[in-house]
Amino acid sequence: MGPKIYKFGKKLIMRNLFLASKNKGKIEEYKKLLSTVNCTLLLQPDSLEVEEDGLTFRDNAIKKASEVSRKTNTFSIADDSGICIEALDGKPGIYSSRYAENDQKRIERVLKELDGVQNRSAFFIANICVCSPNGEVIIESEAKCYGNIISNPRGKGGFGYDPIFEESSTRLTFAEMNNVIKDSCSHRGKALKKIIPDLRDIFS
Ligand code: IMP
């Protein structure tokens, strides 16, 4: 799905863009990726809680961005992402962050479920949504990154499922990549790259 853009009738006067997340690591990543967009990126207010109870990545991204925009009266951007494993019927999917209590245990659970399984195909997926200050969806983007789940984790970088996900074209795990390489092929990097021209347009 390519990015969708909805036109504004009014002249833009606000340059703030809330990132609908409380993750400080994520805002640093976004600041780098959005460095060519003339906006001020802010982390969502601490007092705001948005429940991720949608049935799809897209539903969750829309819910987060739309609620943050409506409550702050400001533009906002949200993403929802996860890993889908073919032999596990797409699991962990939207439950990627809740598949066990921490990253190590989540990796252990996946490796146990794939024990003896030949088909190791998997993909990461990211859905991104941008909302206008009234909560209307103005941009959407989705991207995937394909690879395989390896049996023995490799690499020291990254987070989450990075050490067990070997990306197809480089044969490196996400945990073996530096940020520049990961951004160029990751689901989130690709989804964000697609909408940068639209974001530049809005904040021009
Ligand atoms: P969220 O989109 O921030 O809610 O993240 C969902 C979950 O998916 C994370 O907590 C990770 O477990 C997993 N995930 C998403 N993107 C990545 C990635 O690039 N590497 C490793 N794990 C990821």
Average pLDDT estimate for 29-35: 89
Q: Whose CA is nearest to atom 11 of ligand 1?
A: 160
Amino acid at 73: N
Dump pLDDT digits (tens) for 52-102.
Answer: 899 999 999 999 999 999 999 999 999 999 999 999 999 999 999 999 999
Cβ(185)–Cβ(196) under 8 Å? no
Domain annotation for the chain: domains and CATH numbers: 14-202 (3.90.950.10)
Average pLDDT estimate for 42-47: 90
Average pLDDT estimate for 97-116: 97
Q: Whose CA is nearest to atom 23 of ligand 1?
A: 160
Q: Whose CA is nearest to atom 15 of ligand 1?
A: 82
> Is residue 30 lining ligand 1, measured as CB closer than 6 Å?
no
Cβ(37)–Cβ(200) under 8 Å? yes
81 forms beta bridges with 126
CA of 10 to the centre of ligand 1 (A): 36
Instruction: Note the helical H segments in the chain.
Output: 24-33, 57-72, 103-113, 179-185, 187-202
Considering the entire predicted model, what is its pTM? 0.91
CA gap 66, 169 in Å, rounded: 35
* pLDDT category of residue 178 using cuts at 50, 70 and 90: very high
Task: Report the pLDDT value the prediction gives residue 13, as an integer from 0 to 100.
Answer: 56
| Cβ-Cβ contacts under 8 Å for 31 (sequence gap 6 or more) | 41
Of the two residues 59 and 11, the one the predictor is more confident about is 59
Helix (H, G, I), strand (E, B) or coil at 143: strand
pLDDT above 50 (res 5): no
> Is residue 29 lining ligand 1, measured as CB closer than 6 Å?
no
Mean pLDDT is highest, among 21-30, 43-52, 104-113, for 104-113
Task: Report the pLDDT value the prediction gives residue 6, as an integer from 0 to 100.
Answer: 42
Average pLDDT estimate for 10-33: 81
Task: Report the pLDDT value the prediction gives residue 65, as an integer from 0 to 100.
Answer: 97
Q: What whole-number percentage of the chain has pLDDT above 70? A: 94
Closest by alpha carbon to 18, among 174, 93, 111, 129? Answer: 129
Average pLDDT estimate for 113-123: 98
Give me the active site residues, please.
80
> Is residue 96 lining ligand 1, measured as CB closer than 6 Å?
yes
Amino acid at 8: F
Terminal C-alpha separation, the chain: 25
